[in-house]
Amino acid sequence: LQIMDSIPVSTTDLAGVGIATVEILTLAEGEYIIVVSLNPEQNHYYWSQDSDPTIITIYQPGHESVRGAGWIEDSDGNRGHFVFLVKHTSRGGLKGFIFYTLRVDNLVYFVKSTEITGFTIYENHAFFEASITIYMYDLETKEKTQLEDTYRLRIDAWDSKRRHGKDIFQIQIFDRYGLVVYEAGYDPLGYVHRGNIVIHGHRHHRHHGHHWHHRHHHHKMRHC
């Protein structure tokens, strides 16, 4: 059991949203449970329940990789087309790319990245995060604009491992405050059309029993 010292929260220009960052320099391989809470002795005006326990696994990366392509449908009936490849390098680093395109009325969004910041595999489930750049193209004015805010994404992908099985793709895009500005593949579930997900290499853990994440909320792409 390790209790971190009180961590100051950085304010933002959004009401009720703050950012706290913790850096742990060394952790031995194994599974850890993380719980986040507000210190009542130092928060006289704010209160919150403790977060749900979250399991993280620390391990030495091997030669795992995941790739995929196809399209999914979001809750508004828009098609999101994607192609990606992520893998561990021989030196233990990360290498890969992700492209995702979405058309909403007369606007086409291009999401792309080659800056993979995290990646792991559990059985037939792969997930990774990346810092991204978003461009918006107006079909009427023919103008292309880069969204100025800082964004990152998380991709969850499942390889059914069966010839006629249904692979699954999910995407979440976060702004600089960690708020979800867009997601797809949750409702309806992101069954992959005209493509597939392929996972090479996998790890078995004891404490995970889910096959996919499900969210009950949905956010449209928004921009400032």
The number of beta carbons lying within 10 Å of the beta carbon of residue 58 is 12
pLDDT value at position 210? 33
What does the domain layout of the chain look like in residue ranges? Answer: 1-58, 65-200
pLDDT less than 70: residues of the chain: 1-4, 202-224
pLDDT number for residue 83: 99
Nearest to 171 by CA among 138, 211, 218, 124: 218
What is the per-residue pLDDT for 205? Answer: 46
Q: What is the pLDDT of residue 202?
A: 62
Cβ contacts of 200 within 8 Å, gap of 6 or more: 63, 64, 65, 66
- Give the pLDDT of residue 68: 98
- pLDDT computed for residue 134 by the predictor: 98
Two structure tokens written together for 103:
């058309």
Residue 9 vs residues 19, 21, 71, 85, 140: alpha-carbon distances, Å: 5, 8, 39, 35, 43
Q: Is the pTM value of this prediction over 0.85?
A: no
Tell me the three state secondary structure of residue 193. strand
